[in-house]
Structure 1
Amino acid sequence: MSLLVYYTSVSSSREVKKQQSKIFSYLDSKKIAYKTLDISQSSEIKDEMRKKTGDPTSLPPQIFHGDTYCGDYSMFDTALEDETVEAFLKL
């Protein structure tokens, strides 16, 4: 199983872009393999992300390990501060 990050390539929010960039930079720096799904490409992908998170209003970025939900950016950031990212990512 690999990591899956739902993100958006089209956003007017600087905050969302910054959050996504921080996640991708971390994963790349640690050489952690991941796949991405761009919710701006299809409403079906966005609906899938929201269904999997259990929140009909969830926004990207959202992180999964296989089908297991890891969390959103705020949860990732907390894990980063607590130095528990590997546990958060279920690696």
Structure 2
Amino acid sequence: MGVTIYMASVSSSLEVKKNQERIFSVLSSKKIPFKAVDITQNSEDKDFMRKKAGNPKALPPQIFNGDAYCGDFAAFEEAIEMEKLEQFLKL
């Protein structure tokens, strides 16, 4: 199924936008294919993201591989720092 990033195209938070762009940039530079799912277009996607993340208030971006939850932006950054991105993404 591959890596899926649950994101928000409409957000008043500059931090959310920067975090999303950082994830897209890193994945693109490493040639890791991914799909972006915009939770602002479909509330079912937002509900799915929050349920799978195990947090009813989870905010984007959230990262999945298929139906497996990988983590949020902080976990993504930590995986990069520890040089364990592929492991984090369950590749």
CA separation in 1, counterparts of 2:13 and 2:52?
Answer: 23
Q: Does 1:80 align with 2:77?
A: no
Q: Deviations along 1:30-73, whole A, 9 cap, x unmatched? A: 11111111001021111111111111000000000111110000
CA separation in 1, counterparts of 2:86 and 2:2?
Answer: 13
Residue type at the aligned position of 1:72 = D
Within a 5 Å distance, the mapping from 1:37-76 to structure 2 comes to 37-76=37-76
CA separation in 2, counterparts of 1:31 and 1:86?
Answer: 12
Question: Percent of pairs identical after alignment?
Answer: 60
How many residues align? The count is 91
Runs of 4+ in 1 over 4 A off after TM superposition: none
Within a 5 Å distance, the mapping from 1:25-36 to structure 2 comes to 25-36=25-36
Give the unaligned 5+ runs of structure 1.
none
How big is the shift at 1:8? 0.3
RMSD between aligned alpha carbons? Answer: 0.7
SS at match of 1:40: coil
How big is the shift at 1:81? 0.9
CA separation in 1, counterparts of 2:53 and 2:7?
Answer: 13
